Amino acid sequence: MQPIRIGSRRSELALCQTRWVMERLQGATERPVEIRTFVTKGDRILDVTLAKVGGKGLFVKEIEEEMLKGGIDLAVHSMKDVPARLPAGLCLGAVSRREDPRDCWISKHGIPFSQLPSGAKVGTSSLRRQAQLRRLRPDVEVVPLRGNLGTRLRKLEETDLDGIVLAAAGLHRLGWGEKITEYFSPEQLLPAVGQGALGVECREDDETMLALLQAVHDDETAQCVQAERAFLRRLDGSCQVPLGAYARRVEGRIVISGFVAAPDGQRFLHVTRCGEDPEDVGTSLAEELLAAGAEDILRRVAAENEGARRL
């Protein structure tokens, strides 16, 4: 039988997540399932921030191109790495049940984030985290930090960083939860859109794969992620802009919080809305932030990023 070919980045976390999907597919079909790995442009460029080289789409572009050519059937992504708009011909066939959506603090010396001395160095690769951390502790120094989870943890030990901020979900999936010093609540650090969930991308006309992917899909998580992605899409956002959103189901309705900020955290707009339709509530949240001044923030950040790329 023709094997089902799944595309994955080559990092330890990406392969762990892809194997999780693979196991569930193998339980739902007699066809063999195999993994094909990719080193994406986002994996290769580690000396500059993603905001300066094109955003998180660099982690999926080569994999998507291979799927459109027919070289692979599926691709497994961390949902927070998936751009708001997918290429024509592709779709999200499944969204997994969400792992812990929170960000977490890993301290070199076990010191809670709130007790760091003034001037402490905090590593993060995210403008979203940077803006919120500077609101929590304007007296600490936020240092750019790129690389996969293992690389960032190694840099914590080998450099003068006092600690780093990572997504808790990846550490949990790899069995590294003991490395976490403490968790940030969503009220402290609002997560990235889709954080904690996996997305499985496929060709939108592949009815066989779409049916098979029901073995992976979680409808409640998918609706919450849909609301967050509607918010992201309306703002035309990416990791080039400090923004975040987190939706959850409460008594049958979707409650979603979102923010847009300047990179230094000085201008910070935060709104919470609730509703029943994921697209409507996510879009409405974005519209409210735009009316409150987010449009000006986004325009300024986009101009700064464009200037940085030209340099």
Residues serving a catalytic function are 81
Residues 183 and 71: their CA atoms lie apart, in Å, by 40
- Cβ neighbours of residue 133 under 8 Å, at least 6 residues apart? 122, 124, 140, 142, 165, 189, 265
Closest C-alpha among 272, 235, 269 to residue 254: 272
Other Cβ atoms less than 10 A from the Cβ of 149: the count is: 21
Residue found under tokens 């999780």: 20
Q: Which two tokens stand for residue 111?
A: 């010191």
Contact 246, 257 (CB under 8 A): yes
What sign has the CA pseudo-torsion 124, 64, 101, 236?
positive
